[in-house]
Structure 1
Amino acid sequence: MYTRILVPLDGSATARHALDHAAALARLTGAPLVLLHVVEELDHCSGFEPATVYVRDVEPAFLAAGQALLDQAADGLRLGGLAVETVLIECKGQSVAARIVEQAAATRCDIVVMGTHGRRGLGRVLIGSDAEQVARLAPVPVLLVRQSHAAGTTPAQQAG
């Protein structure tokens, strides 16, 4: 049914939980996983550092941290026998959600599996939801996974 699964990762427990679900889906379908980390450049600069410092020190550091996040997740999945690719991109003025949707098309994925923090009310209005925007904009199905209340359980344990 699914031939390629896109999994955006941000380092949160919710994203890790979504990755567990995506891995279970990959085992069922034989589909490779495409792990994506989108870097929001503005999260990594104060605006006070000179451009040379940003280019020489700041940007390489946050890109290396993003790649390390992807590599750690990919290594664990590969040890479990799954096929995994990694993609690291920067927002470049676009929203995280727009970049995720773009990558779903660019990497020819036919489902996106991602975590959602389940914000409601004022928090949702003020912060917004990348997951909600991806679900609205994506040309493929989007599986939104909320953080489990039963921390430490796998998707299979939750189902059974």
Structure 2
Amino acid sequence: MYQRILVPVDGSATSGRALAEVIKFAQQHKAHVEVVHVLEEIGYFDEENYLNYAEMVDSLRRSGEKILAEAQMKLKQAGVPVETKLLETNGERVAHVITAEAKNTQADLIIVGTHGRSGFSRMLLGSVAEGILRTADIPILLIRGG
């Protein structure tokens, strides 16, 4: 039933739990997995040029590539066909970038970790998982963090 699964990862323990579930799910369904990491555009106020913005973005890109490589290794070790992709927001919301990628790759299912924040922290930080729920037109499996 589910042949193409998309899973976003960010290196957190919660996305690690989602990845573990993806492995089990993909093995049971003999599915192909696409692991994505989204680089979020960073706005900053640095009138004095204390930050090297290009260096910071390069560091974030290397970190994202490392997160993807680790996820790819886990899936390959489990015998799950996998591909990875580093995505960028370019001013869009992270959730929209993820759902657009799912649509572009014709994913059947998105499996995503959720921190389960509520109240003020949810309002302040937002929720990528909630954004995916609101914008995706395919099934979503949420994996709660520990």
Q: When the two structures are superposed, what TM-score results if normalisation uses the length of structure 2? A: 0.91
Matched, 1:71 2:69: yes
Letter in structure 1 aligned against 2:113: G
Structure 1 position 97, deviation (Å): 0.5
Structure 1 position 123, deviation (Å): 1.5
* Aligned residue-pair number: 145
Structure 1 position 47, deviation (Å): 3.8
Structure 1 position 122, deviation (Å): 1.6
From 101, 109, 114, the counterpart of 1:103: 101
Q: What does residue 154 of structure 1 align with?
A: none
Structure 1 position 124, deviation (Å): 1.6
Q: SS at the partner of 1:42?
A: coil
Alpha-carbon separation, structure 2, partners of 1:2 and 1:46: 44
Alpha-carbon separation, structure 2, partners of 1:146 and 1:111: 17
Structure 1 segments unaligned to the other structure (5+ residues): 149-160
Percent same amino acid among aligned pairs?
A: 39
Q: What does residue 54 of structure 1 align with?
A: 53
Matched, 1:143 2:137: no
Alpha-carbon separation, structure 2, partners of 1:50 and 1:105: 40
Alpha-carbon separation, structure 2, partners of 1:47 and 1:4: 42
Structure 1 position 22, deviation (Å): 1.0
| RMSD, aligned α-carbons | 1.8
Alpha-carbon separation, structure 2, partners of 1:46 and 1:85: 36
Equivalent pair of 2:7/2:36 in contact (CA under 8 Å): yes
Counting helix residues as a fraction of each chain, which structure ranks higher?
Answer: 1
Equivalent pair of 2:23/2:78 in contact (CA under 8 Å): no
Structure 1 position 107, deviation (Å): 1.6
In the TM superposition, 1:1-160 aligns within 5 A as 1-42=1-42, 47=46, 49=49, 53-55=52-54, 57-148=55-146
